[in-house]
Chains A and B, each alone.
Chain A
Amino acid sequence: MQNFAESFWFSLTLIVTGDSELWSIVILSLQVSLTAVLLAALIGVPTGALLAFGKFRGCQAITIFVNSLMGLPPVVVGLCVYLILSSSGPLGVLGLLYTPTAMIIAQTILIAPIIAALSRETIQAVHEEYRDQFTSLCLSNWQRLQALLWEARFPLLTALLAGFGRAIAEVGAVMIVGGNINHLTRVMTTSIALETSKGNLSLALALGTILVLIAILVNAAVAVIGMRRHEAMHV
């Protein structure tokens, strides 16, 4: 029964038969994680850029801090978000607990440090390359930032993919703050956890296979539209 080949075929059958329940779970997973990536990018990329310029005091300390946040355990993030969004927590009045928004918040917190740290590294490397040239061309700080973000666009895309990978694969945090509510907050990973706990190992593995396929699809899509241009622009 716990046969990988069998589970693989099972997952293909699930995909081909177009099970609507499965699709709604897949779509919710993508929605939550892509939104989290977008928000985390809005936070992480500017933070990374700021740290890459690194001209203010405490910059080094913040960099170390952000780098270590990359290893945040999802369950801890989930717990913190739970405590904040809980009815008896500071933001309880918003009524966000057990909603997709809560999962988006948790995943955003989880991956923003990853995107920030990778962005910092990327932007710093590109800045090294262009620092003198930009000084020579008399770029203002703002122009410099804009130019660096554009020049680093392809490696930044990779940073976003890394964040996406962690977000879509994460289970601990979304389980706590989403509650794994059927048709509302049940995503791929919590479904997998649920089916595993029911002992439906082959179904769980099939869902896992689909999760991997989704990850491959997203990465391939980015590769096709982004990396091909990257190849062209950057020898």
Chain B
Amino acid sequence: MSDLDVGICNVTLSFGDQLRLDIPSLDLDPKRSTMILGPNGAGKSLLLRVMHGLSQPDTGTVNFPDQYEDRARQAMVFQRPVLLRRTALANISFALRVRGHSSQDARRRAMTWMMRAELDHLANVPARRLSGGEQQRLCMARALALEPKILFLDEPCASLDPNATVAVEALVQDAIDLGVKVIMVTHDPAQAQRLGSEIVLMHQGRIAAKQSKLDFFNSPQNYLVSSFLAGKPLLSNIKEPS
């Protein structure tokens, strides 16, 4: 593990007697966008939560390179949009003010990001009145307005229609282009292919595979990857990658 990587070391997390996360070691390159794939219940979201500090692991540590460590350098967008009962613009400026921006500055920056998310015409609409796609774009805009080093995305397109998905993906691509380290959970291999640079496959709380995008789709590391890509249900026993 290099000091320049996002490193996960000996992380385990159980609910009752159920082991939900068991990751001896995982290193993620901060220069590349990571897509975490896997079936439901594989522990993808939990891993994301542990990395962002929302859930405490039973054992183990998550290490970030210097500039990425502080949660104030990170941002997260959840599967279901979490918005305050305020206007769309106020949702972004609230997050900025929490980070210490003056109200004028927060408002100006918020408006910039409203425009980039093409939501400026909805700035003064109560956020919870927006459509699902607009809400998720607003959440993306809010996260990006914080100018994070790492952006965690937990299936942000899970409940969106194709048009809305395209719009959100465009914002994710923006983030990647800006040099933000994106770590995104998705269950859609095609989306992972569009946005990812390295791909992690999770299964039953463990890392089943970690490959670059090209390798993942062209020369699967193991049969779990090939089964997953073929759309077959994954067996409950994990064979150790050889």
Contacts and interface: CB of A to CB of B under 8 A. Distances in A.
Interface of A: 129-130, 132-133, 135-139, 143, 147, 151, 153-154, 232-235
Contacts of A137: 95, 98-99, 146
A139 B95 CA distance: 9
A234 B85 contact: yes
A133 B72 CA distance: 12
Chain A facing B: main interface SS: helix
B85 A132 contact: no
B104 to A, nearest CB: 19
A133 B78 contact: yes
A64 B82 CA distance: 30
Contacts, number: 48
Contacts of B85: 151, 153-154, 233-234
A129 B82 contact: yes
B126 A138 contact: no
Q: Which of A138, A139, A143, A147 has the most CB of B within 10 A?
A: A138
Interface string B31-68: 00000000000000000010011100000000000000
Given A136-B71, A137-B98, A138-B71, A233 B128 contact: yes
B98 A132 contact: no
B126 A147 contact: no
The 6 closest A-B pairs by CB, nearest first: A133-B82, A233-B85, A136-B76, A233-B126, A235-B128, A138-B72
Contact of A143 (B71, B98, B128): B98
Given A129-B82, A143-B98, A233-B85, A136 B129 contact: no
B86 A135 contact: no
